């Protein structure tokens, strides 16, 4: 049941964005490209500067956990503000149809788009922090090449989350000022 509900959040998020290829490319393709570039650069730097991959991975994981905790706090605060607010702006968001997004061929409200976006962001952040905690335990038994690949996956997912938060901040700006 929980897995189906979780999948629905992801499905709704991407279904809303079917017609907006630029959003899809920005939040998915760009982080993937950055992850590949990180792998190439990381492999080159390792050979030139003789970086200890285990030490670097442990430090990176610790920093990632800290950053993710801050991101999750921000995202939950934003959803809390959105849900509990009875301000005029939020009421307008609940009444106004989105001109850019729809779900299953039906118009949806700006509020629903924003809420779905932030719920998806929180879901990705929570799943990623669980993944990073698991990495913290496996880092000492995995070979160096696997650690490099995991680091690049981490960079790509972190970039994905950063873009999602950036879009959320943009939405806040336009909701309250435009």
Torsion of CA 51, 154, 32, 112, to 10 degrees: -160
CA distances 119 to 4, 88, 92, 152, Å, are 15, 22, 20, 25
Mean pLDDT for back-to-back runs of 10 residues, the chain (178 residues): 82 84 83 92 75 87 96 92 86 85 86 91 96 92 90 95 90 73
Reading phi first (left if > 0) and then psi (alpha if -120 to 50, else beta), residue 63 is in alpha
Reading phi first (left if > 0) and then psi (alpha if -120 to 50, else beta), residue 121 is in alpha
At residue 71, the pLDDT reads: 95
At residue 178, the pLDDT reads: 61
Provide the CB-side half-sphere exposure for 157 (13 A, CA).
24
At residue 46, the pLDDT reads: 64
Query: What 3-state DSSP class applies to 98?
Result: strand
At residue 3, the pLDDT reads: 80
pTM of the model: 0.89
At residue 18, the pLDDT reads: 77
- Residue 51's CB is within 10 A of a number of other CB atoms, namely 12
At residue 76, the pLDDT reads: 94
């Amino acid at each position: 049941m929980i897995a189906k509900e979780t999948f629905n959040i992801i499905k709704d998020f991407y279904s809303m964005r079917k017609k907006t290829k630029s959003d899809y490319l920005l939040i998915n393709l760009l982080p993937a490209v950055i992850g590949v570039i990180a792998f190439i650069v990381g492999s080159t730097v390792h050979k030139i500067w003789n970086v200890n991959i285990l030490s670097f991975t442990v430090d990176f994981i610790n920093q990632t956990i800290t950053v993710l905790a801050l991101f999750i706090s921000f995202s939950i605060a934003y959803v809390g503000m959105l849900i509990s607010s009875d301000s005029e702006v939020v009421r307008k968001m609940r009444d106004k149809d989105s001109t850019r997004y729809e779900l299953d061929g039906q118009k949806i409200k700006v509020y629903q788009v924003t809420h779905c976006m932030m719920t998806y962001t929180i879901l990705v952040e929570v799943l990623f922090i669980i993944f990073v905690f698991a990495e913290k335990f496996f880092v000492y038994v995995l070979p160096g090449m696997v650690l490099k690949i995991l680091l690049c996956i981490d960079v790509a997912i972190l970039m994905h989350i950063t873009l999602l938060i950036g879009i959320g901040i943009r939405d806040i700006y336009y909701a309250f000022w435009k």
